[in-house]
Amino acid sequence: SSSPVFISPSRYITCTEYTNFYGGKRAEIPQGNFRRLPFDHCSLSLQPFEYPVCTEEGVVFDLLSIVPWIKKYGTNPATGEKLEAKSLIKLNFSKNNDGKYHCPVMFNVFTNNSHIVANRVTGNVFSFEAVEQLNIKTKSFKDLLTDEPFARKDIITLYIIYTFFTFFIFTGIIPHDPTNLDKFNVSDFFHVKNNMKCLDPDEEKAKQDPAYHLKTTNLETRETLAELYKDYKGDQLLASTMKEPEAKKTDKLNAAHYSTGRVSASFTSTAMTPATTHEADAISDDAVRYQYVKKKGYVRLHTNKGDLNIELHCDKVPKAGENFIRLCKKGYYDGTIFHRSIRNFMVGAFLRPCLSKTAEAVKASGGESFWGKPFKDEFRPNLSHAGRGVLSMANSGPNTNKSQFFITFRSCTYLDRKHTVFGRVVGGFEALTAMENVESDPKTDKPKAEIKLISTSVFVDPYEEADAQQEEEKQQASRVLKRAEEEQPRAFRAGVGKYINPATAKRPAAEDDGGPSTSGAALKKAKGRSGFGDFSSW
């Protein structure tokens, strides 16, 4: 028991062993945290892209997402390194008849298991199989679509699937190292690690409202906040969100064919006040009002290159048509510069702060709609970017239409269901040709000579006629209702015969005095009747 105890070196773990091998050391990016981004997604917004561009390393972004980021931070969102907008490469993806991305040479549909590469010179996107068979093995480095020459180093890997055991197979085939999977790992993106975002101006404005951060609240919290803001007068905006919305009155014009659902909701939820009467739900004012818009609108744009006569599809896209007509009548577009012109594509009119007459007109990029907030897209199957002179809304994403618009120089059907078509040029095509002939800066697409929208003239406003017709129908319905109330019968007494007027039921006195009365004889005769008797005659 008193003998010394010797510990063998193999019976314990050193600090170095524990740190580097057994428990203390973890990989910087564990395999379980590896999340691959789909090939058709933007590496910044993590959503499907619409206008794809990529860096020289093959990191794909959406143009509408990466440009605001570069203006604000000037870095690559995936790596955190310095990035300039001029270094971005526009990608030309091809689609099949089903609208799916595919290789324009092999015609195989791209999936998340495809090997996709791009040509730095032309921006065309192919499958690696096509480039390997027709360019690399034949040593004929010409674009497979445009036949433009390029170097082997111009092949950029956009998407690739590898396992750790097959990395070495492709070493040296593609100039950009395909084993670098960091550009596909969402968990390793610089902006994801540091929780960095580039918010839209409208979203930044909305975040100033404290109610923006209240995503879901229970009944007790809502009641507490409602009681608080009943006495507290500081933040009127937040207090208004706590008020129960007032029930909208319905009439013959705006009554829906379905109910508000309060009866069923109160039956299944104890948080609601019980309701036993079905009430028709009220249709929105715009939906009721736009039912009366049956005509086209006509506007003339006076530019320094000539006049453009515009026909607006107010009967098909009433919201966009009314927004444009109201802004024209307001003089909102007066002095606007067409600051982007691309030959064989379009010319775009965008408001700039230096051209605005009021500070309210240019609160954020893209101007403002007539109602002060963006409105939803209005896509119609019979309205397409087909032909020359199509008038369409510019936007920064779905349902973000404001005041910007553009006019096409040729068919751009790939913009369908992305931008709202709301009009077309019906006169003044020589002015449109003059706009197209103005040379533009190839880098910024800004016209070298000024193209200016001087003023606008509204010839036909179908919304005024619709408002007048709606008001006339309201007055007519009011007169019919008033007449029906006047024609209701009057009650003279309670009980049976309450609607009979006593004055008309009473006989004149002359009828009572004239002629003998037969009531006595009738009574005597009735009294002499014996009924069945004693049944002796049976």
Tens digit of pLDDT for each residue in 157-214? 998 865 433 443 444 444 444 445 666 778 888 888 888 877 666 666 666 766 666 6
pLDDT of residue 293: 92
Residue 144 domain-assigned (yes or no): yes
- Domain CATH code at residue 409: 2.40.100.10
Examine the domain organization and report whether 422 and 448 are in the same domain.
yes
Higher pLDDT pick, 282 / 337: 337
Residue 520 lies in a domain: no
Q: Are residues 218 and 318 in the same domain?
A: no
CA terminus-to-terminus distance, the chain: 141
Mean pLDDT value across residues 124-130 = 94
pLDDT at 506: 64
Residue numbers of the domain that contains 424: 291-466
- For residues 333-349, average pLDDT: 88
* DSSP code string of 275-335: --S--EEEPPHHHHHGGG--S-EEEEEEETTEEEEEEE-TTTSHHHHHHHHHHHHHTTTTT
**Is 138 in the same domain as 216?**
no
Tell me, yes or no, whether 26 lies in a domain.
Answer: no
SS3 label, residue 75: strand
Please tell me the least confidently modeled range out of 48-52, 236-240, 521-525: 521-525
> How many domains in the chain?
3
Looking at the fold, whether 159 and 250 belong to one and the same domain comes out as no
Question: Do residues 111 and 243 share a domain?
Answer: no
The CATH number of whichever domain residue 173 belongs to comes to 3.30.40.10
Same domain, 73 and 128: yes
Please give the pLDDT value at position 399.
92
Which of 229, 256, 290 marks a domain boundary?
290
Among 170-184, 204-218, 257-271, 424-438, name the one with the lowest average pLDDT.
170-184
Residue where one domain finishes, among candidates 275, 290, 305 = 290
Structural domain includes residue 533:
no
Please state which of the ranges 44-53, 63-72, 299-308, 501-510 shows the lowest mean pLDDT: 501-510
**Mean of pLDDT values over 440-448:** 89
pLDDT band at residue 267, thresholds of 50, 70 and 90?
confident
Task: State the residue for tokens 């999340």.
Answer: 35
pLDDT, mean over the chain: 80
Per-residue confidence band for 328, with pLDDT thresholds at 50, 70 and 90: very high
List the single range of 65-69, 387-391, 425-429 with lowest mean pLDDT: 65-69
Same structural domain, 215 and 151: no
Q: What's the pLDDT at 302?
A: 95
Task: Grade residue 29 by pLDDT with cuts at 50, 70 and 90.
Answer: very low
Same domain, 268 and 362: no
Regarding whether 334 and 226 lie in a shared domain, the answer is: no
Give me the mean pLDDT over the 244-259 stretch: 68
User: Same structural domain for residues 376 and 329?
Assistant: yes
* Residues 298-312, mean pLDDT to the nearest whole number: 95
Q: Are residues 316 and 369 in the same domain?
A: yes
Contact between residue 310 and residue 301 where contact means Cβ atoms under 8 Å apart: yes
Question: Could you write out the DSSP letters of every residue in 56-107?
Answer: TT--EEEHHHHHHHHHHT-B-TTT--B--GGG-EE-B-EE-TTS-EE-TTT-
In a domain, 12, yes or no: no
Which of 267, 290, 313 marks a domain boundary? 290
Among residues 456, 82, 193, 488, the alpha carbon closest in space to that of 301 is found at: 456
- Does the structure show a pLDDT above 60 at 280? yes
Q: State residue 143's pLDDT score.
A: 94
Query: Is 321 within the bounds of a domain?
Result: yes
Tell me the C-alpha distance between 123 and 110, whole Å: 17
Residues 76 and 163 in one domain: yes
- As a whole number of angstroms, the distance between CA 369 and CA 372 comes to 5
Looking at the domain assignment, is residue 218 inside a domain?
Answer: yes
> Angle at which helices 318-330 and 462-486 pack, to 10 degrees?
110
Any domain includes 510: no
Q: 179 is written with which tokens?
A: 């084993």
Task: Tell if the pTM clears 0.85, that is, is over it.
Answer: no
